[in-house]
A and B are shown apart, each in its own frame.
Chain A
Amino acid sequence: MTESRGEKIFYRFNYVFLTLLMIIVLFPVLYVLSASFSSPDAVVSGRVILFPVEPTLDAYKAVFREPTIWLGYANTLFYTVAGTLVSMVLTICGAYSLSKRRLKGRKAINLMISFTLVFNAGIIPIYMNFRSLDMLDTRSAIIFGFAISTFNVIILRTFFQSVPEELEEAARIDGASEATILLRIMLPLSKAALATVTLFYAVGRWNGYFWAMVLLRSEDKVPLQVLLNRLVVQMKPSDSMMVTDSSYLIAETVIYATIVVAVLPMMLFYPFIQKYFVHGVMIGSIKG
């Protein structure tokens, strides 16, 4: 196919535009990273634009000295690991059963879960439900209360349905029980979909903020995101971070270092799973 002059211009424009787009997306991230490694003075006087100026690790030292950050990190790690585990077990249970066309009553259950996609009780009734279950200010409210995302159930159900039924039949003839078929055949075959759904749950858990803020009262249960809101958005560094005399200046870079520390695990994690989730989103949401 030969390209006309107009097409050539278009292709060139396309590259330029997409490059600009990448710069716009990356700039805030790079700025935060550079600011966290720069001297507070350089940040405040506007000398940091893209690269660190007067590099120093002071901000990170201040962050890691802060006990509440460590506690928040530990809590978030716990909510992420335990929560994702509970989410995956429940989601697999539902998605696997509902993927079986022979199952009686599956239409009704599918209808029921689909309804939750278009209608939910709302913030206040959900909050009151936790209160009536006596789950306010408990870790289990965070872990169990938000365990299932219907969208993820649909992704996994669709994937399970696409596994040829002959495989299952063959295993059954060989004497495998339903549990064996699920654990030894379906799950290993569904790695891509499982990786996708796990990533979605884990990201949601790691980043979860609103309900943790609403439901949790005690300081020792609060996840990192709630602390971040206090430190970064409302810009109220805790007292122990303000000990030095040039305290406010330090606080500036500490905010950026806190952001980096909070975002880093996800940033390191996601490029490895990227190929799975792109594939996973496609199989889960689109069927030709």
Chain B
Amino acid sequence: MKLRIKESQNGLPALTVKTGGLGKTLRRDWFLYAILVPFVLWYILFAFKPMYGLQIAFKDYSVFQGIADSPWAGFSHFETFLQSDYFLRVLKNTLLISLYSLLFAFPAPILLALLLNDVKNAMFKKMVQTITYLPHFISVVVVCGIVTNLLAPGNGIVNLLLEQLGLEKIYFLAVPEYFRTIFVSMSIWQEMGFSAIIYIAALAGINTDLYEAAVVDGANKWKRMLNVTLPGILPTIMIMLILKIGSLLEVGYEAIILLYQPATYETADVINSYVYREGILNGRYDMATAVGLFNSVVGLLLIVISNRLSKKYTGNGLW
């Protein structure tokens, strides 16, 4: 199994004979190049051109002077950020929320796929799949809205139930200690089913002969799972893990911005929510760009390192 991020080398060979110069290629494939133009233009305009704006991380940006003419400021924004109280707070929150997601949200779809794989009733299996996919199609705003309302301090259902049990009502979303638990549970609820698809596909690809051979060898269910099933989906798990590690610092900041409030900043504020507040709301573009760049570069390093480690130890990688 191989995730097709990178071009595979084992595809069909092209049938066309090798041709000569660029002129001939252009004449032959003009249509392909013509439709490629808007596509490439899009990437230049909306994916690469913004990277030019990254330079203001090293400048004292002034709206009047623009990106090019604002004076250089060296690494001063990075220094300010690294020395501020915010740095440790947002870094700690980002890493902790990522770590919890890695520990709980990452294995959840694998577990679901493994359990589904052992369901023999096709109808029941289909039903579980359909229902667990469903939350993926609900927008993050609505999911956060549901969470906010169910956990509301006055008449959210959770607190009404607590009250009926004779317990004290809790304003869950205002208590810093609960934020990470709420956030990670919410992500599991929303994405577990949909993320399981890829593992279900990988499980379907395991050669059934292997199971039969294992049975002949006297392997019980648990042994078969350890020696056949898990090795069978390990490449997929590794790829997904690398991707996950690469986006470790991206933690669903959209949902965090929707759910957090000043009372929970202490545990909820992550790098990107801080970037959003500093940059978009407070207009400190240069500072926020520096923080965002720090985020992107660390993310890039994480993905390169985890890819290298994975290749070394399991032989699977993204590239």
Chain A residues engaging chain B, CB cutoff 8 angstroms: 1, 4, 6-7, 10-11, 14-15, 17-18, 21-22, 24-26, 28-29, 31-32, 43-46, 48-49, 90-91, 93-94, 96-98, 100-104, 107, 109-110, 112-114, 116-129, 132-133, 144-148, 154, 158, 161, 164-166, 169, 177-179, 203, 206-207, 209-210, 214, 225, 228-229, 232-233, 235, 252, 255-256, 259, 262-263, 266-267, 270-271, 274, 278, 281-282, 284-288
Q: Establish whether residues B142 and A259, one from each chain, have CB atoms under 8 Å apart when the complex forms.
A: yes
Q: Which residues on the A side are within 8 Å of B303 (C-beta)?
A: 118
Could you tell me the distance in whole angstroms from the C-beta of B242 to the nearest C-beta in chain A? Answer: 10
The 6 closest A-B pairs by CB, nearest first: A46-B160, A122-B292, A232-B145, A207-B139, A94-B39, A125-B53
Query: A235 CB to closest chain B CB, in angstroms?
Result: 7
B148–A233 CB distance below 8 A: yes
Q: Closest B-chain residue to A278, C-beta based?
A: B197
Residue contact B141 to A266, C-beta cutoff 8 Å: no
Q: Which of B1-60 contact A (CB under 8 A)?
A: 1-8, 11-16, 22, 25, 29, 31-33, 35-36, 38-40, 42-43, 45-54, 56
A123 pairs with B288, CB closer than 8 A = yes
Q: Min CB distance, A250 to chain B, in Å?
A: 13
- Give the residue of B5, B205, B280, B295 whose beta carbon is less than 8 angstroms from that of A114: B5
Question: Are A124 and B285 in contact, with the CB atoms below 8 A?
Answer: yes
- How far is it, in angstroms, between the C-alpha of A129 and the C-alpha of B10 when the chains are bound? 39
How far is B201's CA from A282's CA once the two chains are assembled, in angstroms? 6
In the complex, what distance in Å separates the CA atom of A235 from the CA atom of B258? 12
A contact patch SS: helix
Chain B residue contacts of A288, Cβ below 8 A? 1, 205
- Given A46-B160, A103-B32, A93:B38 Cβ within 8 A: yes
Assembled-state Cα–Cα distance A22/B193 (Å): 10
CB pair A104–B276 under 8 Å, yes or no, is no
Q: B130 interface residue, CB < 8 Å from A? A: yes
Instruction: Note all chain A residues with C-beta closer than 8 A to B29.
Output: 100, 102-104, 178
State the Cβ distance, A112 to closest chain B Cβ, in Å.
Answer: 6
Provide the bound-state CA to CA distance between A200 and B150, in Å: 28
B15 touches A165 (CB 8 A): yes
Is A178 a contact of B32 with CB atoms below 8 Å? yes
Return A162 CB to nearest CB of chain B, in Å.
9
Q: Is B161 an interface residue (CB 8 A)?
A: yes
In whole angstroms, how far apart are the Cα atoms of A146 and B46 in the complex? 8
A43 to chain B, nearest CB (A): 7
Q: What is the bound-complex CA distance between A271 and B150, given in angstroms?
A: 26
The 8 A CB mask of B128-169 against A (1 = contact, 0 = none) is: 111111110111111011101110101101001101100000
A274 touches B155 (CB 8 A): no
Closest chain A CB from B290 CB (angstroms): 9
> Chain B: residues with CB nearer than 8 A to chain A?
1-8, 11-16, 22, 25, 29, 31-33, 35-36, 38-40, 42-43, 45-54, 56, 67, 112, 115-116, 118-120, 124, 127-135, 137-142, 144-146, 148-150, 152, 154-155, 157, 160-161, 163-164, 189, 193, 197-198, 200-202, 205, 215, 220-221, 236, 246, 254, 257-259, 272, 275-276, 279-280, 285, 288-289, 292-293, 295-296, 299-300, 303, 319
Q: Assuming A97-B39, A122-B275, is B141 touching A228 (CB within 8 A)?
A: yes
> CA–CA, A282 to B3, complex, Å?
10
Taking the closest CB of chain B, its distance from the CB of A100, in whole angstroms, is 6
Whether B39 contacts A148 by the Cβ 8 Å rule is yes
**9 A/B residue pairs, CB under 8 Å, sorted by A:** A25-B189, A93-B39, A114-B5, A118-B303, A121-B54, A232-B142, A267-B134, A286-B202, A286-B205
Contact among B31, B35, B161, B275 for A124, CB-based, below 8 A: B275
Smallest beta-carbon distance A238→chain B, Å: 15
Q: Are A96 and B32 in contact (CB under 8 A)?
A: yes
User: Contacts of A161 on B, CB cut-off 8 Å?
Assistant: 11-12
**Would A97 and B116 count as touching, CB distance under 8 A?**
no
Provide the bound-state CA to CA distance between A165 and B13, in Å: 9
CB atoms of B46 and A129 under 8 A apart: yes
Q: Say whether, besides A124-B280, A127-B279, A282-B201, A210 and B254 are in contact (CB < 8 Å).
A: yes
> Is the CB–CB distance between A128 and B221 below 8 Å?
no
Q: How far is the CB of B107 from chain A (nearest CB, A)?
A: 14
Q: Flag if A25 contacts B47 (CB, 8 Å).
A: no
Contacts of A6 in B (CB 8 A): 220-221
B16, B29, B51 interface centre (most CB from chain A within 10 Å): B51
Rounded to whole angstroms, the CA-CA distance of A55 and B40 in the bound complex is 55
CB <8 Å contact, A178 and B144: no
Instruction: For the A-B complex with A29-B138, A148-B42, A263-B142 known, give 12 more contacts whose Cβ atoms are closer than 8 Å.
Output: A31-B157, A48-B157, A97-B39, A112-B48, A121-B51, A126-B50, A128-B50, A128-B53, A161-B12, A164-B12, A286-B2, A288-B1
Contact A18 B115 (CB under 8 A): yes
Residues of A within 8 A of B319 (CB): 114
**Bound form: Cα–Cα A154–B243 in Å:** 15
**Contact indicator A93/B36 (Cβ below 8 Å):** yes
Closest approach, in angstroms, between the C-beta of A29 and any C-beta of chain B?
Answer: 7
B57 to chain A, nearest CB (A): 9
Contact of B137 among A110, A158, A270 (CB under 8 A): A270
Decide: A209 near B51, CB < 8 A? Known: A123-B279, A165-B12, A165-B15: no
